[in-house]
Amino acid sequence: MALKLWVEALEYPVYDDALKKISPPPNTSIVFMLEPSFPTEAEMTSINKWVEAGGTLILIGERYGTYSAMDHYDFFFDFQPNGDDALKFETPLLLSPSALTPNESKTRVVLGSERDDYVVLMTNQGSPVLVSFELGKGRVILGTVTDQFTNAGLKQAGNPELVLNILGLAGEKGMVWFDEWHHGVQSGAQILGPSEFLRRTPVGRALVFVALAVLIVLFMQGRGFGRPVPLPHEIKRRGAMEHVTGIANLSRRAAHRSAVMMYYHQQIKRKLGQRYRLDPGMDDAQYVNALAGYNASINKDELLDLLKRLKRKNISEAEMVRLAVEASKWIDD
């Protein structure tokens, strides 16, 4: 605001009306874009046409919102070199009127570019912070020396002289327009799409701020977005007995006692009759009689009784264990 009032006091006409579209008003000679908030490529192209016709664009900013405008002219932000600020004029163009070097001002970023058609006006420890180049019939001035244009900065010695020198680089003295479009001062601006709604309306900016605040809170709390994945050295392989115990517990819960007993029943007949080629599918009584004909030492009554008990239904778990022990003796013998 102080810069705007001072420019008016210097007898520069200033255009104050809000615009419906981003385009310099008619008869405008100088445009100030101070920390614009994310100007689009189409908007910068519109301003380029005005510059090529003879206008002077003064684009000053160091925040992320200004990066897209700087990138449009193939410039990028770089970190300030280590050490104290040491602003220095690099061209006599900025010495009329004579300006004191604003040593107390701060520059947090410097400019970088692969272009070779620009003039370095001011540096910070050798890195450009204020440059100028021709564009058609007009001129573009880019810089990151923002403190010099603030209300407080204009009170410091050397800063008003710097602003006067920058104004002196304009092709002709005429109407000045301060770009308040990218600061939200718009007249009936049409919002096209959700991206412009979020960037250009107070409600949209509030939603973006709330979303960022929620993400920061979640990040600081360390809340995970899924189940933690164990580290490889924390994963222990199961032993063989765990698998055996697991299968046994599943069989117990499914009440497979009768099936277990039938397994022992078949194993006894297969084991004892294998030597004599006896069919284990024979009736138990016939099988025992045939087996006793080959091996007279076998207790027929004891074996037949065991085979009958193994075929019983709905036996208890304790009885199943006793029968399994008894059957194992016949199998192992």
Model confidence pLDDT, tens digit, residues 78-106: 876 555 567 787 777 655 566 555 545 66
What's the pLDDT at 189? Answer: 52
Structural domain ending residue among the three candidates 141, 160, 186: 186
Query: What count of residues does the chain have?
Result: 333
What's the pLDDT at 157? Answer: 80
What whole-number distance in Å separates Cα of residue 252 and Cα of residue 248? 6
What's the pLDDT at 139? Answer: 92
Q: 284 vs 61, 199, 307, 310, 312, CA distance in Å?
A: 101, 90, 7, 11, 14
| Total structural domains within the chain | 2
**What average pLDDT does this structure show over 138-153?**
88
Read off the pLDDT of residues 251-273 as tens digits, 9 standing for 90 and up: 777 777 888 888 888 988 888 88
Between 76 and 154, whose confidence is greater?
76
201 occurs within a structural domain: no
Task: Give the three-class secondary structure for 198.
Answer: helix
Structural domain ending residue among the three candidates 166, 186, 206: 186
| Residue 323: domain span | 252-332
Q: Is the pTM of this model over 0.95?
A: no
Same domain (yes/no): 121, 28: yes
310 occurs within a structural domain: yes
What's the pLDDT at 70? Answer: 92
Structural domain ending residue among the three candidates 169, 186, 203: 186
What whole-number distance in Å separates Cα of residue 55 and Cα of residue 136? 9
**What average pLDDT does this structure show over 179-185?**
75
